[in-house]
A and B are shown apart, each in its own frame.
Chain A
């Protein structure tokens, strides 16, 4: 074993060689020249003629170039130099075949780009930790009615009172913060006299305990966060921290915002800090944070009551030697204690005893939809990448055939087979790099385009309401994305370069010189056929996936949602006391909106269809019979004003609609949807029957009409039973959503509607304005997102696979040109030659389709959570895919087949 000193010395000598390699080469040449001359002189002395002697000497010496190559290889740096040389050679040879280079580089760019784009999403949504220090020590405490299982969607929110008990019940928490949820109308106050009056902004605020920011370890970019000192309000009200987006939207990104005052509804606040853009609170899309303790002091008892009802999330930091498992166990025990202190309500969805638990905060923030979505996308994009690799490998193999003569010559000139393989590998690396660089640009553009599709997630407990999938996620490439792009480029380069390099390393010079290298060619052709069958199979699988999604999307759009969204405009209306409290003013406002030119009707309701934000109540009495606890599922409760049925085109099935006849104050009449009618009276006419949705003892109401089922939840969710009250008969109307139906473009009337609302109630905030078509688009957006992506992957895959089929057949035809010529010369009909090529093409296509179908049957399992209204083994989809791939395969066969029949026997034989 050489010691370290020897090794070092060798290294130094090598470095010296490398630095002086030009001199080294010159000297080597001189040395060899000297050798040849000496030899010639000796031969001459032995009696040879001068030219003969020289010739013999040269011959004896062998290949000078090879000796140089090998002595060069001896140098450690030989391979570096060789690589540079190879790369240079590759660029030169690529320039000579621009068509090949373009196709190869473009498909590589596409493959690497698409893969990196999907990885960008994976990175933004799964890999990036929440933007808090030591985020892996943060946990979310949850309550559930299914012990031990955390489903974000039906986990029970905490009440503040329960949260207060956790401190003693769960010692594994070093610190636990609580955050509840409110929406407010924000208006700036204390503006200089005479300045423009501002319209209110609707903001999503979190009411947080004063320790939440320290628990999270979050810091403000401007000013400070909420601390223990902020728990009681000062003379100027409570403190408030705002998000970067709100700061930009409503405060003009004014750095002097700290210390300015505002009102949240009627709650006075002083702004003390601006959070960084990455901080969106516990629920991902909050814009404002105010201390819960101070709000409880300031705000009306009604608000406090709501707080205790429980809308809260509890986020805790684990104590230094505590583990998640410990916290989980302690929370389970705590739930038992809490069940005795706070007995579960007698009615409603939350009536079961609770169990508790803890999950990592990072995991809890993840929507359950995200992981399966990303798994599907990743698999699809890897499929595309494999097809790209197979295609480029196919191209390289075809090129290797064309370059056999060149390779043979180089081997004859003394290039080692390892050296050739290395060169081919360098070529594929150079190709991969050439594809990788534009691929990165494609990835960034692609990720941005994906973000523009704005897939929205259905609401859940952590996120509370439907949010954009990519909201707040930064898609700018970070080190993970860059590393991934580099790694995928290298892997791809090796993957598609390995086959030709292996083939070249086995190239046998004797074979080459012998009859047209038929053996090597056969091996190569067989390899290419396998590659193409694989490509067709992958494309088939992807197309089946895409087809199933397209069918789901169609089914989604065909679904009867119970109302006609076209020409409808929706405005969220919040705050304004006068709207909420006086029915007269609301009626007047709706009448004025309906009277606008081009407007047909207007109405208001407490929640909007397709947004899953509606109130639920238990049925307590049916006819004169008291309902058993849990006899009926809770029903959606809607309060409507104006002509809702006409505005949303909800068909009235029987009975009459609610009208102005319904007098104010006490509820007397309701409409049901068909589901409720079926649920409660099982096929009998509900008209004239009575029910109650209140606590026992409340007067019951008469059912006067039945309307069609409207989807208030997601399109693919089942319709829930629903009850419509007249808003005027309801004491607390809550938030309002205004709907207006126009005869033409509803959006054009928006300014006029806004004006009327502002005149009716200047304190109310308008938010979440959307046309009916936009509402529908948003509700279908996650399905559309998956459909769009899978379809584009499928189409690209199919095109590439067709290209692959074409390539193999074109190669086959060129190889058997002579044979075809001979066949036709001795009388074969062109049709028989045509049939021969078609048989080959058909073989590839059918082989691929059969394999692909098998793949699809297995892979569609992954898609099942995205499918709607279509089975996993939908015959129509499979048939359509078979037809599509078949036609594509046929088209790809056509050109080479025609070429085969056009072979001129004379020319073919002469070649």
Chain B
């Protein structure tokens, strides 16, 4: 796959996508990356370089919490899960994003 076929994430959407991913259940960092990549059918390529700082940021804001656990293959990994605050944030960001998307579509004349 060449680079041009991948899309850069819109700024600020990464956090929303992580929140959405975590709303399924707790997950480790690699899992989140895989999940995002698979669901987007490899269109969205999450840079690990921005994933972990984003996770730390979200943890500081209190949207996610983390704890160490074991993977099915008995490897130690840090699992992240959504907090109540995170759920609220997700709802808010999705609403926001919908509004923005609608606006863009209107301008492009696709809505």
Q: Is the CB of A31 within 8 A of B60?
A: no
Q: Of residues 38 to 56 in B, which have CB atoms within 8 Å of A's CB atoms?
A: 47-49, 52-53, 56
A66 to B29, CA, bound (A): 17
A71 proximal to B (CB < 8 A): yes
Q: Of residues 310 to 330 in A, which have CB atoms within 8 Å of B's CB atoms?
A: none
Q: Is the CB of A62 within 8 A of B47?
A: yes
A75 to B47, CA, bound (A): 20
A563 proximal to B (CB < 8 A): no
B30 proximal to A (CB < 8 A): yes
Q: Which 8 A-B pairs have the closest CB atoms?
A: A62-B49, A38-B30, A70-B53, A74-B56, A71-B56, A35-B30, A71-B53, A61-B48
B3 proximal to A (CB < 8 A): no
Q: Is the CB of B76 within 8 A of A34?
A: yes
Which of B34, B49, B62, B68 meets A13, CB within 8 Å?
B62
A14 to B59, CA, bound (A): 10
B61 proximal to A (CB < 8 A): yes
B87 proximal to A (CB < 8 A): no
Tier of interface size on chain B:
20 to 34
- Residue pairs across A and B with Cβ atoms less than 8 A apart, 14 shown, are A10-B61, A10-B62, A13-B60, A27-B78, A30-B76, A31-B28, A32-B52, A34-B76, A34-B78, A63-B49, A67-B49, A74-B56, A75-B60, A76-B60
B106 proximal to A (CB < 8 A): no
Q: Which residue of B lies closest to A35 (CB)?
A: B30
Could you tell me the distance in whole angstroms from the C-beta of B110 to the nearest C-beta in chain A? Answer: 34
A100 proximal to B (CB < 8 A): no
A60 proximal to B (CB < 8 A): yes
Residues of A within 8 A of B30 (CB): 34-35, 38-39
Could you tell me the distance in whole angstroms from the C-beta of A757 to the nearest C-beta in chain B? Answer: 87
Residues of B within 8 A of A10 (CB): 60-62
A6 proximal to B (CB < 8 A): yes
Most chain A CB inside 10 Å of its own CB: which residue of B49, B62, B76: B49
A63 to B29, CA, bound (A): 17
Residues of B within 8 A of A62 (CB): 47-49
Could you tell me the distance in whole angstroms from the C-beta of A415 to the nearest C-beta in chain B? Answer: 13
Residues of B within 8 A of A13 (CB): 59-60, 62
Could you tell me the distance in whole angstroms from the C-beta of B85 to the nearest C-beta in chain A? Answer: 8
B77 proximal to A (CB < 8 A): yes
B57 proximal to A (CB < 8 A): yes
Q: Which residue of B lies closest to A9 (CB)?
A: B62
Q: Which residue of A lies closest to B57 (CB)?
A: A74
Q: A6-B62, A13-B62, A34-B77 are in contact. Are A60 and B48 (CB under 8 A)?
A: yes
Q: Is the CB of B61 within 8 A of A71?
A: no
B75 proximal to A (CB < 8 A): yes
Could you tell me the distance in whole angstroms from the C-beta of B36 to the nearest C-beta in chain A? Answer: 14
| Chain A interface helix/strand/loop/mixed | helix
Q: Of residues 1 to 53 in A, which have CB atoms within 8 Å of B's CB atoms?
A: 6, 9-10, 13-14, 17, 27-28, 30-32, 34-35, 37-39, 42
Residues of B within 8 A of A61 (CB): 48-49
Contacts from A to B (Cβ < 8 Å): 6, 9-10, 13-14, 17, 27-28, 30-32, 34-35, 37-39, 42, 60-63, 66-67, 70-71, 73-76
Residues of A within 8 A of B48 (CB): 32, 35, 60-62, 67
Q: Which residue of A lies closest to B28 (CB)?
A: A34
Residues of A within 8 A of B68 (CB): 27
Could you tell me the distance in whole angstroms from the C-beta of A706 to the nearest C-beta in chain B? Answer: 95
Q: Is the CB of A34 within 8 A of B62?
A: no
Residues of B within 8 A of A42 (CB): 34
Q: Which residue of A lies closest to B33 (CB)?
A: A35
Residues of B within 8 A of A67 (CB): 48-49, 52-53
Which of A6, A28, A38, A76 meets B52, CB within 8 Å?
A28
Binary interface encoding of chain B residues 7-47 relative to chain A, with 1 for a CB under 8 A from any of its CBs, else 0: 00000000000000000000011100110000000000001
Residues of B within 8 A of A14 (CB): 60
A10 to B34, CA, bound (A): 29
Could you tell me the distance in whole angstroms from the C-beta of A28 to the nearest C-beta in chain B? Answer: 7
Q: Which residue of B lies closest to A28 (CB)?
A: B52
Could you tell me the distance in whole angstroms from the C-beta of B109 to the nearest C-beta in chain A? Answer: 35
Residues of B within 8 A of A34 (CB): 28-30, 75-78
Residues of B within 8 A of A9 (CB): 62
Q: Which residue of B lies closest to A68 (CB)?
A: B52
Could you tell me the distance in whole angstroms from the C-beta of B88 to the nearest C-beta in chain A? Answer: 11
Which of B29, B59, B60 meets A35, CB within 8 Å?
B29
Residues of A within 8 A of B28 (CB): 31, 34
Q: Is the CB of A31 within 8 A of B52?
A: yes
Residues of A within 8 A of B56 (CB): 28, 71, 74-75
Q: Is the CB of A17 within 8 A of B78?
A: no
Most chain B CB inside 10 Å of its own CB: which residue of A6, A27, A71, A73: A71
Could you tell me the distance in whole angstroms from the C-beta of A897 to the nearest C-beta in chain B? Answer: 51
Residues of B within 8 A of A17 (CB): 60
Q: A67-B49, A71-B56 are in contact. Are A31 and B62 (CB under 8 A)?
A: no
Q: A32-B52, A71-B52, A74-B60 are in contact. List 5 more A-B contacts (CB 8 A).
A: A28-B56, A34-B75, A39-B30, A67-B53, A71-B53
